[in-house]
Amino acid sequence: MRMQLAHVGINIQNEDELKNVFSFFGDTLGLEIHEEKTCIFMDSYIEIMKKKGPGEKGHIAFSVENMEEAICFLKEKGIAFADENFKYDEEGRISAAYFREEAAGFAVHLIPMR
């Protein structure tokens, strides 16, 4: 099973923290900013959530070639999924699958490789 880090989502607590994150990732590191409806991406690897998202601190997304295969593989390894929180695309395919447990305050989820 091929899996790779897709992005890290960061939950922002307040406007001051948002300014600090923008300053560090945008100004200091020079990452490109892409604003979307629910988040702001710094390049494609850092996602700043506009509202608190899953996970105490944020989330870590891994992309996989085949969602169903990856879910089955990880379930066999003892990973429990929050099946009730799966997201689906227009064609009924799983587009996001969250693990039930967090890792160090971060929700973990799978997304399809693009």
Cα separation, 32 vs 42, whole angstroms: 5
Q: Tokens 């039930």: give the residue.
A: 100
Environment class of 11 (CB within 10 Å of its CB; exposed 0-12, middle 13-18, buried 19+) = buried
Q: Both tokens of residue 55?
A: 């996970």
* pTM for the whole structure: 0.89
pLDDT tens track for 26-37: 889 999 988 888
Strand 46-49 and strand 3-11: the pairing is parallel
What pLDDT is recorded for position 79?
97
The parts of the chain modelled with pLDDT lower than 70 are none
Q: Both tokens of residue 72?
A: 């089955």
What pLDDT is recorded for position 73?
96
Please, what are the domains in the chain? 3-112 (3.10.180.10)
